[in-house]
Amino acid sequence: MGNVEQRSIDKATQEVLKKAQAENINTVWDRFDQQQPQCGFGQLGLCCTVCNMGPCRIDPFGEGAQTGACGANADTITARNLARKVAVGASAHSDHGRDVAHTLSLISDGAKHTHKGGHSHSYEISDVEKLKALAVEFGIDSTKNKDEMAKELSKKLLEEFGRQQGELTFTKRAPKKRQEIWKKLGITPRGIDREVVELLHTTTMGVDNDYKNLIQSGMRCALSDGWGGSMIATDVQDIILGSPQPIRGKVNLGVLKENYVNIVVHGHEPVLSEMAVKAAQDPELLKLAKKMGAEGINLAGICCTANEVLMRHGIPVAGNFLQQELAIITGAVEVMMVDVQCIMPALQEVAACFHTKLVTTSPKARFPGVTHIEFNPENAYETTKQIVKLAVENFSARNKERVNIPAEEMDLVAGFTKEVVFQILGGKYRATYRPLNEAIISGRLRGLAGVVGCNNPRQTHDYFHTTLVKELIRHDVLVLQTGCSAIACAKQGLLIPEAAKLYAGQGLQEICEAVGIPPVLHLGSCVDNSRILTAASHVITEGGLGEDISDLPAAGCAPEWMSEKAITIGFYFVASGVYTVFGASPFATMGSKNVTDYLTKGLEGVTGGSFEFCDDPIKTAKLMIAHIDKKRQDLKLKPAMYEAGKA
């Protein structure tokens, strides 16, 4: 994949890749090429490094060893490997959730002292309504004052992590029937940390050898993420940072500004970046920036941190996962401030090719020799001010001749939370899911699709996301997006209301025009996939579309996935009854026919959801649409109102 057109469909990406090639800077695509061909055992999931009798591998062509030293066969090995990934993915989201809950606890503690010398730049409760709603869910007296409520809530939330028995509180949000399915299968998550630990335990040498049991344990762990850790992260971020509202923004590398101090925030936890938004407006720093010859301070984001600050403040998005190095290669970034997850180790080397300072902020995610300015919620503003100052001071080190910012930037509308999307559909004063349900029932909308996930150099960057989403909306499927997938589609202009006219089928177009929304709704970061789960539950509660999530004319897809988190998200979607397609390449279970068949065929009879693997966007769309149509039939709904228009 040497030429840039094969690497990405995104013009800005192509342009910077050419610059990288001209300057001999290696990017993820080059390193990916250097990895070819990749290990067949790894791809098939047949390599086991669990114990020190290994590493063992199973001969996929059936002639050599069919079991590892311990006797584990292809089924056990692939299932164990997969389960471990689920545990890691769940850990990432849930640990994020824990940090946010912890911040809430600090805010409620600190509240007492705010009056004596706290300043206006500390965290506070931004969405009191949401706080109250959660308090009710957790059985807390919602008439108490907000700090007390927050204190009690944060305690209860943190207890969800260490809980040993019972059920996670948020699982009650799921439709009754779904809760019963989980109970029957024994996969209702008990405590967030417990499920991760227990799953890891079952995958060690000599514990669980039943691939079906391993996958079910994996689902319970994943549910503790989707209906636990991630949901906590989403909801508590809304409480602290404010619930997003539809907001216009800009996306792609073109948002970097030539005459400004550019700071890119990258990673997944928005708590610190939230403060960076404030610090970038600090008059003292702005003055300093002017003094350094810059017109101002420009903040932009990459990956999910970007989505979080976009949704709440309209901060522009510089790009998605595969563009993180490219932002630096524009030569115009003074500081890239990173927190956790999806931060390529390569950034250090790429930054070293320029004046860019990479700054790590989490004690969990560091690079040797890279500037580390540690974040803690108590002095967040001071910390970010220090980082912004570093950026401003670094402006003079920029080599103007090496600056090359692509012109591409695109408008988008983001900030559709589960609350907001459907308020809009119902009109501002009629906050109900009824209109959405009616639209589906009448067939004006064929159904719903969640298209989420990462980028992967295995696949032409952004191609699968955008081709799939265009095909879905052409068939009157309303698409809900998060993460890097949302950014991909945003760059191609699918997240503006005008896109409806250009790409959507007639039914979806009518709805978009009536309500003024884009045909593709941006729900946030990857922990915000939990918003899709709650939204789906609300649709069920509203009535007319079955009793369980698995009844809905809906499907999910992670087209260009690469992260373990994507596997976990897939697991909690399937465990919640959703038909979920994975693009890029299948899970590393293809070495076991049993495990792969169980995931793609066997699970439907167990959870009502199932996995599918498909490496072609149009075929994937067909599969999803066929599933949606089947569900419409099962619900005895009329067929979709309109035939799909021309592609």
Partner 1 sequence: MKQLLYEVKKCLGCRSCEVACALAHSLSGDLYKALDEEKLSMPRKKVLACGGKNYPVSCRHCEDALCVDACMAGALVFDKQKGQVLHDAERCVGCWMCVMVCPYGAIRPDIKDKMPLRCDKCKDKDEPACVKACPTRAVIEQEKAEVKK
CA angle 609, 444, 478 (to 5 degrees): 50
Nearer to partner 1 by Cβ, of 20 and 558: the residue is 558
Residue list 61-120, contact with partner 1 (CB under 8 A): 61-64
What DSSP state is assigned to residue 537?
Answer: H
Task: Please report how close the Cβ of residue 39 comes to partner 1 at its closest, in angstroms.
Answer: 6
Nearest to partner 1 of 62, 369 (CB atom):
62
DSSP string across 270-325: HHHHHHHHHHTT-HHHHHHHHHTT-S-EEEEEEHHHHHHHHHHH---EEE-GGGHH
Q: How far is the CB of 28 from partner 1 (least distance, A)?
A: 18
Yes or no: say if 345 and 403 are a contact pair by the CB < 8 Å rule. Answer: no
Q: Smallest distance from the beta carbon of 78 to partner 1, in angstroms?
A: 12
In the complex with partner 1, the residue whose CB is nearer, 62 or 368, is 62
- In angstroms, what is the minimal distance from the CB of 9 to partner 1? 24
Q: CA dihedral defined by 302, 305, 309, 310, rounded to 10 degrees?
A: 50
Our finding on whether 593 is near partner 1 (CB under 8 A) is yes
Sign of torsion over alpha carbons 428, 434, 435, 436: positive
Q: Which is nearer to partner 1, 61 or 429 (CB)?
A: 61
Q: Site mask, partner 1, residues 274-313, x = CB under 8 A?
A: ----------------------------------------
How would you classify the pairing of strands 554-558 and 610-613? Answer: unpaired
Task: Kindly state whether residue 583 participates in binding partner 1, applying the rule CB under 8 A.
Answer: no
Q: Strands 247-251, 410-414: parallel, antiparallel or unpaired by DSSP?
A: antiparallel
List binders of partner 1 among 488-507 (CB under 8 A): none
Instruction: Fill in the DSSP letter of residue 589.
Output: T
In the complex, what is the shortest distance from the CB of residue 37 to partner 1, in angstroms, rounded to a whole number? 5
CA dist 82 and 86 (Å) reads: 6
Query: Do residues 275 and 240 touch, judged by C-beta distance below 8 A?
Result: no
**Contact status, residue 302 vs residue 317, Cβ threshold 8 Å:** yes
Q: How far is the CB of 65 from partner 1 (least distance, A)?
A: 10
Q: Which two tokens stand for residue 598?
A: 């169980």
Could you tell me the sign of the dihedral formed by the alpha carbons of 139, 143, 144, 150, in that order? positive
Select from 586, 602, 608, 617 the one that contacts partner 1 (CB under 8 A): 586
Q: What are phi and psi of 188, to 5 degrees?
A: -65, 125
**Comparing C-alpha atoms, which of 246, 598, 633 is closest to residue 424?**
246
Q: What's the closest the beta carbon of residue 24 comes to partner 1, in angstroms?
A: 22
Least separation in angstroms between CB 585 and partner 1: 8
Nearer to partner 1, 40 or 639 (CB): 40
The token pair at 127 is 């969405």
Stretch that binds partner 1, among 190-198, 202-210, 424-432, 583-591 (CB under 8 A): 583-591
Pick between residue 39 and residue 626 the one whose CB is nearest to partner 1. Answer: 39
Q: Which of 592, 589, 590, 596 is nearest to 74 (CA)?
A: 592
Q: Closest approach of Cβ 61 to partner 1, in Å? A: 4
Q: Using the rule CB under 8 A, is 591 a contact of partner 1? A: yes
> Of 41 and 579, which has the nearer Cβ to partner 1?
41
Give, as ranges, the residues between 12 and 71 that touch partner 1 (CB under 8 A). Answer: 37, 39-41, 43-44, 57, 59-64
Asked whether the bond before 497 is cis by omega within 30 degrees of 0, the reply is no
**Cα(128)–Cα(145) distance, rounded to whole angstroms?**
10
Q: At what angle do helices 564-575 and 529-542 cross, to 10 degrees?
A: 10
> Please, which residue, 45 or 556, has the CB nearer to partner 1?
45
Q: Which is nearer to partner 1, 43 or 73 (CB)?
A: 43
- We find the least distance from the C-beta atom of residue 350 to partner 1, in angstroms, to be 24
Residue corresponding to tokens 């250097």:
34
In order of 43, 128, 310, 418, the CA distances from 241 in angstroms are 41, 11, 12, 16
- Are the C-beta atoms of 345 and 360 separated by less than 8 Å? no
Q: Whole-number minimum distance, CB 406 to partner 1, in Å?
A: 35
Closest CB 348 distance from partner 1, rounded Å: 24
Comparison of 60 and 453: residue with beta carbon closer to partner 1: 60
- Please say which residue, 60 or 319, places its beta carbon nearer to partner 1: 60
Number of residues near partner 1 (by CB under 8 A): 17
Q: Which residue has the tokens 């896109």?
A: 499
Cβ–Cβ < 8 Å for 208, 267: no
Distance between CA atoms of residues 12 and 130, nearest Å: 39
Specify which residues 216 forms β-bridges with. Answer: none
Of 55 and 363, the one with the shorter C-beta distance to partner 1 is: 55
Nearer to partner 1, 62 or 117 (CB): 62
Residues 56, 336, 590, 628: which binds partner 1 (CB under 8 A)?
A: 590
Shortest Å distance, C-beta 590 to partner 1: 5
Cβ neighbours around 119 below 10 Å, total: 8
Residues 238-257 that bind partner 1 (CB under 8 A): none
Binding site for partner 1 (CB under 8 A): 37, 39-41, 43-44, 57, 59-64, 586, 590-591, 593
